[in-house]
Structure 1
Amino acid sequence: MLVPKDLDLLLDAARAAGDIARGYFNASPDVWEKSDGQGPVTEADLHVNRQLSADLQSARPNYGWLSEESEDSAARLSTEYQFIIDPIDGTRAFIEGSKDWAHSIAIAKGGVVTAAVIYLPMRDAMYTAALGQGAALNGTPINALPNKQIETATVLSSKPNINPKYWAGAVPPFKRTFRSSLAYRLALVAEGQFDGMLTLRPTWEWDVAAGALIVTEAGGGVSDQKGLTPVFNNPHPQINGMVAAGGIHSKLVAALA
């Protein structure tokens, strides 16, 4: 399913995106609030989006395009392959001067992600995966944690997800911590820095498409909050939350209401 050199294309595009974003970082970029409470966007997000669109769509003009910062078009639904892009995931972190933001770039076919890159320019961290070929950080293979004990687990999650209403019984006694970028959370799970991550609200595909492949290629499990395998390139590009983890994945899903 993987087109030869697709991953190389994403790597080159991510590096170019990083060069652009670094120029705006801690340089007081213009910031706007999106409509409908969708959060902030900066001139850096838009510049990166333009560059990614130019680089990727010129190289693969027959691929569909889904990006947080582009107007969506139903034309992508009739393409064989699709780019799924978040130019800067963790825009609030970017604005605040934190290094925890990322470029999230994926290619999907038939609802399945086939190539993925998550790049954190300020941390010099390039997470990559290709379907059936494993996952890596800066070229070195990575693996999710095998720990199966939820009681000793560390889980990346926002605080609202710990509300008892989301859980079938008592909230599991894992240690919760947080990173603002969903893509980075997924990458950290794939790297084995944390046991798992979860987000229980409707989740935009561009936030998690790349990370979902990187986690599964690192040997972890990825599902929506009901335990179903996520499908990408939906007409409305959201999925029902995401649970990603190493050995505790099935226990996390089973504990949810």
Structure 2
Amino acid sequence: MTVIESDVRLAERLATEAGEILLALQKSSGLTGKDLGKAGDEQANAYLMRKLRAARPDDAILSEEEKDNGERCSVRRAWIVDPLDGTREYGEGRTDWAVHVALAIDGVATVGAVALPALGLTLTSGSPKPLEPAGDPLRMLVSRTRPAREAVAVAETMGATLVPMGSAGAKAMAVVRGQADIYLHTGGQYEWDNCAPIAVAQAAGLHVSRVDGSPLVYNCADPYLPDLLICRMELAAQVLELVKALPPA
């Protein structure tokens, strides 16, 4: 087994087990809403930090739920995790939430595992699935609460149907799973929101980039990432051109 294969297996196991912790908390805690989401974030993060530090003591870690240490930027290998992506959806008892475990090497999303615990699925960069045929009409994923202006405009031009969904991981995996064709996001995210989804989507043969076509770079001093595009390869050039042609907000 290569080092990367071992990393993929570790990411898959940890994302899956963190998801099991979150499901058990949903069933047994008696908590709901924001209180459940906060408890879930804390428990899943504690588990992932403990396991990653034990398994990969020489690697850096960037987690949404941990105080950031800029020293990680000098380390080639950085684990980037979101213990609970879609806290609102989790607290509401929906299925569109996820656990992200990723490894960036030299700034590249190299290993990724995205668990969809409520669906009993964990998708990884090590086991890409064949892409399903494109939808007819095309399907554009948007936020449940804040559909991005750019996504709505591009969908209208392409004749795509809008598909509202919760977490970033759930949206990205919907494209991987053939439930949608385009995930265009311009509302701002952080590295932990999309590093694992990008690694999985890229391994599945999808186009991944910023909305100007440039690559997504990880383990940066500022972990903010303003935008991204995940879509079928044959749609990428058209989507990028349409975004470029949009008037300023």
Aligned residues: 240
**Preserved contact between residue 220 and residue 245 of structure 1 (Cα < 8 Å):** yes
Q: Secondary structure at the match of 2:212?
A: coil
Q: CA deviation at 1:191?
A: 1.8
Matches within 5 A, 1:182-221: 182-221=168-207
**1:2 to 1:248, Cα distance in 2 relative to 1, 3 A:** farther
Alpha-carbon deviations, 1:44-68, whole Å to 9, x = none? 1111001000001111011111111
**Preserved contact between residue 198 and residue 208 of structure 2 (Cα < 8 Å):** yes
Alpha-carbon deviations, 1:76-114, whole Å to 9, x = none? 111110010000101100011102111011001011111
1:99 aligned residue: 95
Q: Which amino acid aligns with 1:106?
A: A
Pairing partner for 1:239 from 192, 213, 225: 225
Q: Secondary structure at the match of 2:158?
A: coil
Q: Which amino acid aligns with 1:153?
A: L
RMSD: 2.6
Q: Secondary structure at the match of 1:244?
A: strand
Runs of 5+ consecutive residues of structure 1 not aligned to the other structure? 34-39, 137-141
Q: CA deviation at 1:145?
A: 4.8
**Preserved contact between residue 24 and residue 44 of structure 1 (Cα < 8 Å):** yes
**1:89 to 1:168, Cα distance in 2 relative to 1, 3 A:** closer
Alpha-carbon deviations, 1:182-228, whole Å to 9, x = none? 01111111122211111112211111111111111111101111111
Alpha-carbon deviations, 1:134-160, whole Å to 9, x = none? x43xxxxx134564x9x8310111275
Pairing partner for 1:155 from 127, 140, 144: 140
TM-score (norm 1): 0.84
Q: Which amino acid aligns with 1:63?
A: D
Matches within 5 A, 1:48-87: 48-87=44-83
Runs of 5+ consecutive residues of structure 2 not aligned to the other structure? none
